[in-house]
Chain A
């Protein structure tokens, strides 16, 4: 029987060795992990844009064609990446100040990497939302929004690419989830047919009222803004519906501010 001191010493030594090994490994490999995570996020955003060659270098495409903006809860643009350097500096400072008001040391790198999951920590009026503007060929531009909601077991989230073609419509979507059931709820991510239903669906009805794209089990009376749910995944699809409704709703002031005419102008540039 060993004495207590010997046991404590043993545990200390063992934990020390394991801690050193793990920290060395973590510090050397974490940059690669973060880079992978970033690439995965950019891939998810680009996959909403129709006609994307997903095998191309995601980082290069993103840097060339995507400009990031940040909106506050009222839809005011806090920061837009497309401005020139001088205009940007003042804007960056305002944006960083506003973010720092929320009580976090925020650097520029965070501005271009807003993550809805961490935004949930803050009160709704303090949150900021990212917009990814994609400048495609022939002057066609897409606005990719980030949305987040609740599935059956855990969180779901995704990106919605909007385009203006006489009216606002969805160009493509990408969904992901934390713990939905494979073959059922997880189909929102795995099933290409489910996602392709969202293409060309409108978010405003004939009267101009905001309806978002609704996911229904049956009785699809308005196919221009309603899609069919996955059978067996009712709760998850209700979650997707709610996520779209609230998520796109967060950007409404911005979308309405863009106004069809302006967007057409952007489109023609």
Chain B
């Protein structure tokens, strides 16, 4: 009997490093709906305004942010016990800035048209609240693999909202999707959709729809 409890205790301590159980799956699925970075956490709105006038730049931005959030979460989580408390945010910024530089260099070399269409906005990922927000809220207090999954989930949640907004804005604002004309000739493009103001009320409408459909979000402020 004593041996059994000892055995159980040992098994509990040795958690597999890359587990993918229910908790891990939740890290990926929560940010898609219940804890979406844009519509629920209300972070990263600035880039959602800026690049969503067309679908293609939004896709590239989403991929870039997924990369930056997941790997910065991973790296900071690996460093979390050694970072001196007084320079915590500076170290986070260093890591984020380094990763964004990596994205810029790689895009410039392998996907020049994507690089051109995003121009200044790639650099602005450094200021995106989602990246820093997840570092502070999760990576500083959790293990590397789970932090990586959290970053991945939040990046994908952000990407989903971004692309959804861009589809609406490009369809009604330019009559196209990814550059191909979808609307008939007679359609007069709604120029308001192309202005940043439109993204504000589109996000508002998304939040409204999400809250009416998702009972868990009813009392979230």
Contacts of A184 in B (CB 8 A): 191, 194-195
List the A residue with the shortest CB-CB distance to B193.
A183
List the B residue with the shortest CB-CB distance to A7.
B84
Once A and B bind, how many residue pairs between them come within 8 Å at the CB atom?
71
Interface residues on B, range: 20 to 34
Q: Quote the shortest CB–CB distance from A14 to chain B (angstroms).
A: 6
List the A residue with the shortest CB-CB distance to B82.
A10
Asked if B53 is at the interface of the complex by the 8 Å CB criterion, the answer is yes
Asked if A118 is at the interface of the complex by the 8 Å CB criterion, the answer is no
- Main SS at interface, chain B: helix
List the A residue with the shortest CB-CB distance to B190.
A183
* Pairwise interchain contact B94-A15, C-beta atoms closer than 8 A: yes
Q: How far is the CA of A130 from the CA of B119 in the complex (A)?
A: 25
* Pairwise interchain contact A183-B195, C-beta atoms closer than 8 A: yes
* Pairwise interchain contact A29-B173, C-beta atoms closer than 8 A: no
Q: Quote the shortest CB–CB distance from B181 to chain A (angstroms).
A: 12
Q: Quote the shortest CB–CB distance from B213 to chain A (angstroms).
A: 31
Q: Which positions 95-113 of chain B face chain A at CB distance < 8 Å?
A: 95, 98, 101-102, 105-106, 108-110, 112
Evaluate whether A179 and B195 lie within 8 angstroms (CB atoms) in the complex, with A7-B86, A15-B94, A32-B110 already known. no
Contacts of A182 in B (CB 8 A): 53-54, 194
* Pairwise interchain contact A29-B194, C-beta atoms closer than 8 A: no
Q: Quote the shortest CB–CB distance from A30 to chain B (angstroms).
A: 8
* Pairwise interchain contact A36-B174, C-beta atoms closer than 8 A: no
* Pairwise interchain contact B84-A6, C-beta atoms closer than 8 A: yes
Asked if B43 is at the interface of the complex by the 8 Å CB criterion, the answer is no
* Pairwise interchain contact B86-A183, C-beta atoms closer than 8 A: no
Evaluate whether A18 and B94 lie within 8 angstroms (CB atoms) in the complex, with A29-B108, A32-B109, A33-B108 already known. yes
Contacts of A56 in B (CB 8 A): none
* Chain A 160-198 near chain B by CB (<8 Å), digits 1 or 0: 000000000000000000110111100000000000000
* Chain B 174-193 near chain A by CB (<8 Å), digits 1 or 0: 10000000000000010101
* Pairwise interchain contact B112-A37, C-beta atoms closer than 8 A: yes
* Pairwise interchain contact A22-B112, C-beta atoms closer than 8 A: no
Contacts of B84 in A (CB 8 A): 2, 6-7, 10
* Pairwise interchain contact B174-A29, C-beta atoms closer than 8 A: no
Q: How far is the CA of A130 from the CA of B116 in the complex (A)?
A: 23
* Pairwise interchain contact A21-B109, C-beta atoms closer than 8 A: no
- Chain A CB within 10 A, most for which of B91, B110, B194: B194
- Main SS at interface, chain A: helix
List the A residue with the shortest CB-CB distance to B97.
A18
Evaluate whether A183 and B98 lie within 8 angstroms (CB atoms) in the complex, with A29-B108, A37-B112 already known. no
Q: How far is the CA of A23 from the CA of B108 in the complex (A)?
A: 15
List the B residue with the shortest CB-CB distance to A18.
B98
Interface residues on A, range: 20 to 34
Contact of B109 among A6, A18, A29, A179 (CB under 8 A): A29
Q: Quote the shortest CB–CB distance from A217 to chain B (angstroms).
A: 16
Evaluate whether A33 and B87 lie within 8 angstroms (CB atoms) in the complex, with A181-B194, A184-B191 already known. no
Evaluate whether A26 and B105 lie within 8 angstroms (CB atoms) in the complex, with A40-B116, A183-B53 already known. yes
* Chain A 32-60 near chain B by CB (<8 Å), digits 1 or 0: 11001101100000000000000000000
Evaluate whether A33 and B194 lie within 8 angstroms (CB atoms) in the complex, with A18-B98, A182-B54 already known. no
Contacts of B17 in A (CB 8 A): none
Asked if B209 is at the interface of the complex by the 8 Å CB criterion, the answer is no
- Chain B CB within 10 A, most for which of A14, A21, A40, A178: A14
Contacts of A21 in B (CB 8 A): 98, 102
List the A residue with the shortest CB-CB distance to B50.
A182
Contacts of B115 in A (CB 8 A): 36
Asked if B9 is at the interface of the complex by the 8 Å CB criterion, the answer is no
* Pairwise interchain contact B119-A178, C-beta atoms closer than 8 A: yes
Contacts of A85 in B (CB 8 A): none
List the B residue with the shortest CB-CB distance to A10.
B84
Q: How far is the CA of A182 from the CA of B101 in the complex (A)?
A: 25
Q: Quote the shortest CB–CB distance from A72 to chain B (angstroms).
A: 31
Asked if A123 is at the interface of the complex by the 8 Å CB criterion, the answer is no
* Chain A 1-13 near chain B by CB (<8 Å), digits 1 or 0: 1100011001100
Asked if A261 is at the interface of the complex by the 8 Å CB criterion, the answer is no
Asked if A232 is at the interface of the complex by the 8 Å CB criterion, the answer is yes
6 contacts between A and B (CB under 8 A): A10-B82, A33-B108, A36-B108, A37-B112, A39-B112, A178-B119
Given contacts A21-B102, A33-B108, 5 further A-B pairs with CB under 8 A are: A10-B82, A14-B94, A22-B102, A32-B108, A181-B195
4 A-B pairs closest in CB distance = A183-B194, A36-B112, A32-B109, A29-B109
